[in-house]
Amino acid sequence: MGRSLAVARGFYETLIPMYTSQPHDSPLSLAVSAVSARVFSLWRHEDAVQVEPHLAPYTQAVASLRSALERLEDRRRPATALAVLALHLYESISAVYDARQATPVHHHGALSLLPITALDSLDGLISTSVAELQADYVRGLSRRHASGPLLEQQCKAWITEAGQIDELLRAWARDVPDHWRPLRLTTGQDFSPSITAYRSACDIYPSCQIATLWNLWRFHRLLLLKITVGATQRISTLPRDESAGDERLVPTTMESAIQAGSIQELVDSICHSVPFYLGNRAKQSSLSDFTDPEILFPSYHLLTPGDARIAARHQDCGDAALSGDEHHRHIVAYGTWHVVSPLSNLLTLVSDDHGGRLVASCLRPGQQEWIREQFLRVSTLVRLPAAGPFGGEKGRSPSLLPVDPKSADSAAESLAKQVRKGAIFMSGP
């Protein structure tokens, strides 16, 4: 998972205090200036050709960082690693909006500067293990003549490893604080019907970062289930004279139903988080959204102070709870960006060539279409460059006007894959 339970705001938890201690011409200060200018240009709806405001500090930050890396004492400073991470964020944002593959240079640079103890933490190892297993699984199934006893042995190894990693993920979920756990709200009863709900409900969280941690956790488990189901199914299709005869790995009807139910439950949980991120927003984001009273989000602040569902949670949260206005600004600033990854992850997962159909077959009728609609909605909110025929020319924001359904479906999947290429080093495998 890559995140300590003590850190609820992610990268920004350590960035802000470190940033305030740095001189204005330090690599970290310049890198933060570049990211700030890049994000601000998106909020102002500036054209892609207007790169001067953020390109200049980016170029300066890279030059300053190269100079700092030549000095041993600067390489050891936490501020230097944070500068590389900030430049990595800049590169990932640019890659998504330029519709290109992200370059790994800043990602690898940050890894080389992080302490070995940080790289060896349990949370970090879980994410790494999932990514490595997924890559090994795809490579193994892509090999020519992948059949016979060797394939069966490999499939068994994948199933065993997936089970071991899944148990680590379950252990993480058992240990999280109670106020981190999602709370289910009902449309019309707990929040406005103007908010697009999933099956008349949504889940709320203390912050976008915590909601995103849960969605990353869910996606990791979905990948492991896809590998387990796919490998087990592959074993069951082998001729019996090629199989070692381990009947325990041939799925029973009950086991298949349990796996399908787990996939459905995990995807449902991601869908239930979408209204928390987006509220009733439906048009391109702008700076006026921060003070727009017409924009509504489901949150703890909609519940009465004496509601039994939140009393214990607020006690656990202590002074960290945001006020209503703070929460509104927090979701406006982060919500749309944080939900892009889970939605694009789901669309690429159900359409991939290595078990995607198995995952898609476990979903309830209409769910994949609902996910696609929400992804196109958030693409409009953050003005993602359109892929293919949907929304017109490449580089233009996708439109939600009615178009041919097949074209919309194909374009949404292409755009999701495009986003994953740009954000590949940001949000998990």
Task: Report the range of poorest mean pLDDT among 42-51, 106-115, 315-324, 372-381.
Answer: 106-115
Cα–Cα distance for residue pair 298/212, rounded to 1 Å: 16
Cα–Cα distance for residue pair 331/333, rounded to 1 Å: 5
What's the pTM value of the predicted model, to 2 decimals?
0.84
pLDDT recorded at residue 136 = 92
CB of 166 within 8 A of CB of 224?
Answer: yes
- The CA distances from residue 391 to 373, 388, 396, 401, in Å, are 14, 8, 7, 8
Q: Per-residue pLDDT for 222 more than 70?
A: yes
Q: Per-residue pLDDT for 398 more than 50?
A: no
Mean pLDDT (whole number) for 290-310: 87
Angle at which helices 78-97 and 105-113 cross, to 10°: 160
Mean pLDDT of the chain: 81
pLDDT recorded at residue 197 = 96
Cα–Cα distance for residue pair 305/80, rounded to 1 Å: 44
pLDDT recorded at residue 58 = 87
For residue 286, report the phi and psi dihedrals to the nearest 5 degrees. Answer: -150, 165
Q: What pLDDT band is residue 147 in, cutting at 50, 70 and 90?
A: low
Q: What pLDDT band is residue 393 in, cutting at 50, 70 and 90?
A: very low
Q: What pLDDT band is residue 6 in, cutting at 50, 70 and 90?
A: very low
Q: Per-residue pLDDT for 144 more than 80?
A: no
pLDDT recorded at residue 125 = 76
Mean pLDDT (whole number) for 185-208: 94
pLDDT recorded at residue 2 = 40
Residues 9-68: tens digit of each pLDDT = 555 667 888 888 999 999 999 999 999 988 888 898 876 545 566 788 888 999 998 898
Q: Per-residue pLDDT for 403 more than 70?
A: no
Residues 149-189: tens digit of each pLDDT = 778 889 999 999 999 999 999 999 999 988 899 999 999 89
Other C-beta atoms closer than 10 Å to the C-beta of 401 total: 7
pLDDT recorded at residue 184 = 95
- Distance between the two ends of the chain, CA-based, in angstroms? 11
For residue 186, report the phi and psi dihedrals to the nearest 5 degrees. Answer: -115, 135
- The CA distances from residue 372 to 47, 271, 369, 414, in Å, are 26, 11, 5, 11
Most confidently predicted of 67-71, 192-196, 311-315, 393-397: 192-196
Cα–Cα distance for residue pair 87/408, rounded to 1 Å: 34
The rounded percent of the chain whose pLDDT value lies above 70 is: 76
CB of 388 within 8 A of CB of 414?
Answer: yes
Q: Per-residue pLDDT for 291 more than 50?
A: yes
For residue 295, report the phi and psi dihedrals to the nearest 5 degrees. Answer: -85, 125
pLDDT recorded at residue 264 = 95
